[in-house]
Structure formats: structure tokens, C-alpha cells
Amino acid sequence: MRPAWNDIKRIDDAAQNVAKFVFDNGTAVAESVLYKYPDYATRTVICCSTQSGCPVGCRFCGAGDNFVRSLTSDEIVAQVEYSIEQTGIQVSEMKRLQIMFMSMGEPLLNLKGLIPALRELYKLYPNAALLISTSAPSINYEPVREISMEIPTIGLQFSVHETTDAARDFLVPFKKKLTLDQIAREGGIWHEVTGRNPFFNYCAHDGNSSVEDADRLRALFDPHVWNATISVVCERSEGMPATNEHQRSLASDFSLKMVERGFDVRVFDPAGQDTIGGGCGQLWFVQKWMQDHPDLAHPSIGRGLPVIHAPTAHAA
């Protein structure tokens, strides 16, 4: 592994199906999560960080209050290399390997680090799926399209989570972001130039899982272009369960509404949410690091805004 991090902690959940790694080098902290479904040979999934903390401030995310800096390409790639080493098997033995940029940070606000990392990871693991998950900052998307055309294994997912811009503004307070209509257009352009289907990710909760919400999503996103990821809402606070049956039922029921409207749908319910904060947006150990490093952890736009917990997510 490249020498990007000098302090790495591993935390395993009780069932040993997911492991979390916290990376520290004195100037930044990062976190990655390693999943096996049901074993590493069948399917290995790695969620890694692209920034230390996050400037976007999503109110359900444990990284939403602080931002340190963007990570270098070496710091990104090293998370993946270390995680793969921990599987104990060769990549050639993995039938399916997915590397997702969705643990901490906004990937598209760090294209300087992300794009060379994508090239390096494609060189190292040419059969790995490389998924960019973004909250859709308002940037020039041409470099995203260019690297996606260059590397055929890149996927693109937009975190939508609400069906109106007003509700999404509450959830994602970062101001310089695309509207839902603009997300639909950017995804459509990406589909045209790559020939691949983008995803929209949607955290179903009590306030956004109605028939009307499903109809608004169908009006925004063409199911011939878009695939849907329906996620169980994660809980950002340690000790508060995220994967309760009510949240799972909401995600499952809403996914059926999306299927009825013609979408190819997957449900995302990451293992280890309640035990080690395995899901995206948990980051309990990183939250502690931020508290211990006030000189490095600067307030994001989310600092001081109401926190959204899974059982009481905002309805607009």
C-alpha cells in the first residue's frame, strides 16, 4: 500500500460481514467500509472517502458538520488498496468487485484527486465497477463525462432523496447545487455520451414515500434512462438503530412503487449500520476525530442546523 496513511484502525461488526477502517495521517482523517456478500470471492464492495469531512452539510450525515480538506489521489487509492489487502484473497478470485466513492465527502468537489484516482484504480483493478455517488454540486460536468467515456467501468449516481427542491434544500443545505430538473438533464447527457444508465439514490422516509412522491420522480426521471436506488435511512448518532423494520418496510414499499412506474430498482440496506456505523453517513469514529482536532476541522454549512434522524426525517 502507498504510504498515504500512518495510522489505520479496523472495527468489525459482530457478524463479521462488514469492517470499517479509519485512516489518519495527522492532517486529515478518512473512512472506508468493506463488505462481503456473502463472502469476498462472490462479491466485494468497498465504500471509500474522497474528502476529509464534507462541505455539503447533509443533515442526516455524520460528516455534515465539519470539513478538513480534499484528499489526494494517493490518499483515495490507498484506502482501496488497504481494504482489498484485508480480504485475504486475490482480486482475480473476486467474481464481483465494486468500489464506491460514497463514504465521506463530495467526490465532484474533488475532481483534482478523484480523476487521477479513477485512472489508477482502473489500471490496478480493470474489472472493478467504479461508482461515483454525488449530491450534484453545480460544477462543470464535462470532466465527469470525459473520464466516464474514457473508463467504461465508471457508474454515476445522484443523491436525490426528495421530490421537490424545497424539501431537498432542507436536507442538503449546500447552496451551489443542481435543481432536480438540472440533475435529470445532466444524467440524461451522461447517458447519451456513455450509453450507460445513471442512478438516482432516494432515502425513503415517512415524509417522502407517498404515491405523489413516486409520481413526481417518474415525471422527473425517465426510466429508460435512469435506474433507482432506494436506501434505508441511515442514523448518524451512535447507539441509535437505523435498520429498524419500519425503515426497511418504507424502503421496500417505495421500491415497489418505482418498479410499478417502470424503473430498474435496487434497495440499499448496508450491513453494520447499527453496530459499527457501516452505512454511508454514519462516521461515528470520524465525528470523534473532528472533536479532537478543532484546529483542522472547520465548520461546514451544516454546522448548527437541525439534525435529521431516521425516524423523524423531514417532510415538506
Sign of CA dihedral 278, 282, 286, 287: negative
Residue 269 binned pLDDT confidence (cut-offs 50, 70, 90): low
What is the pLDDT at residue 252? 87
Q: Work out the number of other CB atoms within 10 angstroms of the CB of residue 296.
A: 18
SS3 223: coil
314 in a structural domain: no
Global model pTM greater than 0.85:
yes
Q: pLDDT tens-digit profile of 80-107?
A: 999 999 999 999 999 999 999 988 999 9
The boundaries of the domain holding residue 188 are: 7-309
Residue 1 binned pLDDT confidence (cut-offs 50, 70, 90): low
What is the pLDDT at residue 251? 85
Whole-number percent of the chain with pLDDT over 90? 68
Give the mean model confidence (pLDDT) for residues 35-46: 94
Cα 242 to Cα 219: distance, rounded to the nearest angstrom: 30
315 in a structural domain: no
2 in a structural domain: no
Rg (C-alpha) for the chain, rounded Å, is 18
Note whether 110 and 71 are within 8 A (CB): yes
Q: CA torsion 290→55→103→261, rounded to 10°?
A: 140
Residue 250 binned pLDDT confidence (cut-offs 50, 70, 90): confident
248 in a structural domain: yes
Would you say residue 226 has pLDDT above 70?
Answer: yes
36 in a structural domain: yes
**Number of domains forming the structure of the chain:** 1
Phi and psi at residue 119, in whole multiples of 5°? Answer: -65, -40
What does the DSSP assignment read for 128-166?
A: SEEEEEE--BSS--HHHHHHHHH-TTEEEEEE---SSHH
Cα 56 to Cα 233: distance, rounded to the nearest angstrom: 18
1 in a structural domain: no
Would you say residue 277 has pLDDT above 90?
Answer: no
CATH number at residue 102: 3.20.20.70
Would you say residue 207 has pLDDT above 90?
Answer: no
107 in a structural domain: yes
Q: What is the 3-state secondary structure (H, E, C) of 30-78?
A: EEEEEEECCCCCCCEEEEECCEEECCCCCCCCCCCCEEEEECCHHHHHH
SS3 189: helix
Evaluate the omega torsion of the peptide bond into residue 126 and state whether it is cis, within 30 degrees of 0: no
Would you say residue 217 has pLDDT above 80?
Answer: yes
Cα 30 to Cα 103: distance, rounded to the nearest angstrom: 9
Would you say residue 238 has pLDDT above 50?
Answer: no
Q: pLDDT tens-digit profile of 164-181?
A: 999 999 889 999 999 999
236 in a structural domain: yes
